[in-house]
């Protein structure tokens, strides 16, 4: 039995994963099947993989606890590219369950990064870190219906995570706990631009703020790089908030989960 056996059943509610479009519903039902240990991504013409959860925080907590799951390229992908260093392109999307609802489902989309042909007209729009533009790899097959109406509508908002010096594209393979770290780091990077109305980088922070106004983030940690990463880790698994006095001395919950999550290694999601 793997580490995923310790997953809280409540965290699997409202969760779906696959290369087909997710079903967006106001009902939070148990996940069909179980989370695989290895998620293999093809290269080239293939629909993006989706991972859906009821909310952004739920999504991060779920991934942080799935220490037995990782994303990796298929053997064919490695053979075709003749590369041992493939990278993940991630799109974050929040989808309203109904036009009159205040509930937003969180959906992640994944593909392996694919170079843009230099001969393609306007190829620069895919290489200039435009957060409103789907990556080139998403255009190699039919774009999912949820992503076709643009990056900001009444029912849907999406953000293509760009590459930066602080938050580069994740290198494959990557474990789910480290992927949760990457997502939290991308959010923190976005929040640095909240006061800059001219920068699209702030969109992820604004999306989280708009769709999940009730979500309270713990304060940022200061100090060394280790302290910063440790602070992100605490935020992802929920150890940075106020202690529950009713559980004093009992352990369990996040205390048990902490030992199950793979330690964060920067080189696992960057070049």
One-character DSSP codes across 64-114 = HH-TT-EEEE-HHHHHHHT-S--BEEEEEEEEESSTT---EEEEEEEEE--
Distance of CA 81 to the CA centre of its chain: 24
Residue 232's pLDDT band, with cuts at 50, 70 and 90, is low
Question: Is the per-residue pLDDT at 220 higher than 50?
Answer: no
The C-alpha angle with vertex 159 and arms to 154 and 165, in degrees rounded to 5, equals 160
Q: Would you state the structure tokens that stand for residue 32, as one six-digit string?
A: 């069909």
Question: Which strand (E) or helix (H) includes residue 181?
Answer: helix 176-191
**Closest of 46, 169, 163, 43 to residue 114, by C-alpha:** 43
- Entry pTM: 0.80
Q: How many residues does the chain have?
A: 271
User: How confident is the model over 190-214, as pLDDT tens digits?
Assistant: 999 999 988 899 999 999 999 999 8
Neighbouring CB atoms inside 10 A of 74's CB total 14
Residues 6+ apart with CB under 8 A from 258: 237, 239
pLDDT of residue 233: 41
Q: Would you state the structure tokens that stand for residue 267, as one six-digit string?
A: 């080189």
- What is the maximum alpha-carbon separation in the chain? 64
Question: Is the per-residue pLDDT at 246 higher than 50?
Answer: no
Q: Measure the CA–CA gap between 231 and 219, rounded to whole angstroms.
A: 9
Q: Would you state the structure tokens that stand for residue 54, as one six-digit string?
A: 């009821």
Rounded mean pLDDT of 88-92?
98
């Amino acid at each position: 039995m793997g580490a995923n056996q310790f997953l809280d059943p409540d965290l699997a509610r409202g969760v779906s994963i696959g290369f087909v479009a997710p079903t967006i519903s106001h009902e939070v039902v148990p996940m069909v099947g179980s989370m695989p240990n290895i998620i293999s991504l093809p290269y080239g013409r293939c629909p993006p993989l989706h991972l859906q959860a009821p909310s952004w925080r739920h999504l991060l907590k779920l991934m942080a606890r799935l220490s037995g799951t990782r994303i990796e390229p298929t053997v064919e992908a490695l053979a075709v590219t003749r590369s041992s260093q493939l990278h993940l392109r991630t799109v974050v999307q929040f989808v309203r369950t109904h036009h009159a609802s205040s509930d937003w489902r969180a959906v992640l989309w994944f593909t392996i990064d694919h170079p843009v042909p230099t001969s393609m007209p306007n190829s620069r729009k895919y290489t200039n870190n435009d957060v409103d533009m789907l990556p080139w790899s998403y255009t190699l097959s039919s774009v999912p219906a949820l992503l076709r109406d643009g990056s900001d509508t009444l029912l849907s908002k999406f953000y293509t995570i760009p590459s930066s010096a602080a938050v580069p594209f994740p290198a494959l393979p990557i474990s789910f706990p480290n992927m949760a770290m990457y997502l939290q780091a991308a959010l923190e990077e976005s929040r640095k631009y909240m006061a800059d109305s001219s920068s699209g980088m702030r969109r992820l922070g604004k999306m989280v703020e708009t769709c999940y106004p009730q979500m309270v983030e713990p304060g940022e940690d200061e100090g060394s790089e280790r302290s910063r990463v440790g602070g992100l880790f605490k935020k992802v698994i929920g150890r940075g908030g106020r202690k529950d006095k009713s559980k004093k001395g009992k352990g369990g919950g996040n205390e048990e989960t902490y030992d199950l999550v793979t330690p964060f290694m920067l080189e696992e999601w960057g070049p």
